[in-house]
Amino acid sequence: MNKLDRWPPPDWPEVVIKWEQMLESPNYNPNMIVTWVDHTCGGRYHLHGYQNTKGFAFRFEDPKDATLFALRWA
């Protein structure tokens, strides 16, 4: 997938990986997650810190990419 650096449109589906998930399992390494997204076929995505420091929010242009990401990481 390709990372979008500017803020995405508000209708892009969002999937949040919470800090609790990352702290409970070594399988939720942030670098590993971003590497997986970057090397997975698909459209554009945006990554930002979630408000109140609850985790990372990934937004996807294509809802299918959001579903694939959620099935793997959420």
Lowest pLDDT segment from 25-29, 33-37, 39-43, 51-55: 51-55
pTM of the predicted protein model: 0.86
Mean pLDDT, residues 8-25 taken together: 90
Asked if residue 73 lies in contact with residue 47, where contact means CB atoms within 8 angstroms, the answer is: no
Which tokens in the block code for residue 21?
A: 């998930």
Q: What is the pLDDT of residue 52?
A: 63
Name the residue among 15, 21, 23 with its Cα closest to residue 47.
15
DSSP-based three-state secondary structure for 68 = helix
b/e string for 5-14 if b means 16 or more Cβ within 10 A? eeebeeebbe
Cα angle 36, 21, 70; round to 5: 45
